[in-house]
Amino acid sequence: MTLTSIWLLPLIGAVLIAFMPPRFAKWMGVLVALVSLGIAAGVALAFAPGFHGYQFTEQVPWIPQLHVFYHLGVDGISIWLVLLNALLTVIAVLATPVTMKNVNRFIGLLLAMSAGMAGVFLAVDLVLFYVFWEAMLIPAYFLLWLFGEGERPARAAIKFVLYTLAGSLLMLVGVIGEYVFTGQQTFDLAKLATIPVSSASIQFGLFFVFAIAFAIKVPLFPFHAWLPDAYMAAPTPMLVIFAGVMGKTGAYGMLRILVPLFPNPVLWWDWRWVIPALAVAAIIWGALMAIAQRDMKLLVAYSSVSHMGFIVLGIFAYNVQGQQGAILQMVNHGIIIPALFLFVAWIADRTGTRDRSALAGLAPRMPVLAGVFTIVVLAALGLPGLNSFVGEFMTLLGAWERAPVLAVIGAVGLVLAPVYMLRMFQGAMHGEPAGPRPSGDIYAGQLALVSPLIILMFAIGLYPYVLTQLMTSVAQVGLYR
């Protein structure tokens, strides 16, 4: 029951906390999140390197007439994402102000969303994967609708639901189709990877519906239209796990389901080349849109689209370097993006604005924030020695082996990243002091909140082998066809 507790504990905590007095809700939420993190960390420490397959498996018949099982497991693809989700949940709950209206319900929904995402990474049965996929979307919708910021949070929530509902319905079609057309009457992901659909047209059809569902969640260009509104409306504590983890569920689905189950999606042309082309388009388009933004929160949102493009490019490189780099970059992105959103929120809280063109000279007046913010910005633009460099290098190396032209075009994103990141940082931190005067520097508690993320940026950047040595399961389902 170890893996079950990773998702069930936050869910039970969410229900209890939603009915607690607000003054107790936050600290109970922190306790629940810390216990879940401790269990996930214990699983990671006990994980056996070099083992091909799922570990710590739990399997119980669920709907035996349809061969559906409650089947959980972790391998080298999912273990780090489970741990990332648990860590960011702790940070998100700690970042939630006790003074927030209905803070108990907010934290309850945060924990419920975290539970759903943990289940996605743990599920080994395709139907169970779909159930957890739907479960994580429900609290996300209510968080945007009930606690969203800005002028039209309800519009952002509805837009998010419409896009994700379309993707979910397509995925349901794919789940049913996989059961029907394989003829094996199983939903076990490891077994399905060994019995691909023989018909080329059916294989393409199933590939297509799953690809759209995952592309919406990543989000991959041009299925990203929900993201700017949702990220602008989302309160910062929600963004920590919404931006830090939820997009990874789409990329994880591509790596876990799309690539191994449908190795030859050919109809008129080979669609294994279409998605890498869209990934490169996302890298360039997201970077250009980030350059054009004045609102720092929106700038970071579009930069996320660009960085997720590297992940998808690595997945569809169909080689060890690219796919290990994609997993590594999922973790890196999940560390950097929450930190960026936290710093943007703290700057806005101290100055009253997120407009980078209205700020200047904050560094002398906020030296602690400026110093730590420097590290996060350098990590985001891929400075060697920090975590993002390793992941981006591996994804581009894998892409170069498969499609040198796409790798070269994708590398343009590495050139554009310093443009929008340094423009944001230098414009706000340096120059003649201008604009609103900040009310003070960041607090010690806020510095402690981002310290684990900063430590991980250095640790992964200097010693990525700690993560990659456990990724032996990347090859377990024949990803390198």
Residues 6 or more apart whose Cβ sits within 8 Å of residue 395 = 310, 311, 313, 314, 317, 321, 322, 325, 326, 329
Q: Is the pLDDT of residue 434 over 80?
A: no
The tokens describing 79, both together, are 């273990």
CB 347 within 8 A of CB 354: yes
pLDDT tens digits for 380-392?
988 888 988 888 8
Cα 308-404-402 angle, rounded to 5 deg? 75
Q: How confident is the model at residue 67 (pLDDT cuts 50, 70, 90)?
A: confident
pLDDT tens digits for 201-253?
778 888 889 989 999 988 888 888 888 888 888 999 999 999 899 889 999 99
- In Å, what is the CA distance from 259 to each residue of 66, 143, 192, 207, 480? 25, 32, 12, 9, 9
Q: Name the residue ranges covered by the structural domains of the chain.
A: 279-475
Q: How confident is the model at residue 301 (pLDDT cuts 50, 70, 90)?
A: very high
The 10 Å CB-count burial string (b at 16+, else e) for 306-331 is bbbbbbbbbbbbbbbbbbbbbbbbbb
CB 477 within 8 A of CB 80: no
Q: At what angle do helices 79-95 and 2-17 cross, to 10 degrees?
A: 20
Q: Is the pLDDT of residue 274 over 60?
A: yes
pTM for this model (two decimals) = 0.90
Q: Is the pLDDT of residue 268 over 60?
A: no
What sign has the CA pseudo-torsion 460, 469, 329, 233? Answer: negative
Question: Dihedral (C-alpha) 154, 150, 143, 333: value to the nearest 10 degrees?
Answer: 120
Q: How confident is the model at residue 265, as a pLDDT?
A: 63
Q: How confident is the model at residue 480, as a pLDDT?
A: 37
Q: Please give the average per-residue pLDDT across 259-279, as a whole number.
A: 74
Distance between CA atoms of 366 and 447, rounded to whole angstroms? Answer: 12
Q: How confident is the model at residue 478, as a pLDDT?
A: 42
Q: How confident is the model at residue 270 (pLDDT cuts 50, 70, 90)?
A: low
Q: How confident is the model at residue 316, as a pLDDT?
A: 87
Q: How confident is the model at residue 111 (pLDDT cuts 50, 70, 90)?
A: very high
